[in-house]
Amino acid sequence: MQEQTVELATEWIALCDLLKIAGIADSGGAGKALVASGAVRVDGEPELRKTRKVRPGQTVELTGVRIRVAAPAARS
């Protein structure tokens, strides 16, 4: 399974937008279609809400891919 971490600069991100910035979907519309197909899970539970708020600490999974959502790394 391919794993990646996406750091958020904001408090949350819409699920379809996360799929886009992670490179899983080519566009927000493609991300919405993936979610609508039932292929996406958030924290192990199936998710059909395209604009669900995903926050740091959560994990998004779909076939062959796991995305860990993190807060921005502390800068010194």
Domain CATH for 57: 3.10.290.10
Q: Is residue 75 part of a domain?
A: no
Q: Is residue 12 part of a domain?
A: yes
Q: Is residue 37 part of a domain?
A: yes
Tens of pLDDT along the chain (76 residues)?
Answer: 899 999 999 999 999 999 999 999 998 889 999 999 999 999 999 999 999 999 999 999 998 999 999 998 766 5
pTM (whole model) above 0.75? yes
Q: Is residue 56 part of a domain?
A: yes
Q: What are phi and psi of 74, to 5 degrees?
A: -65, 135
Q: Is residue 76 part of a domain?
A: no
Output the CA torsion sign for 15, 17, 22, 27. positive
Q: Is residue 41 part of a domain?
A: yes
pLDDT in tens, 58-74: 999 998 999 999 998 76
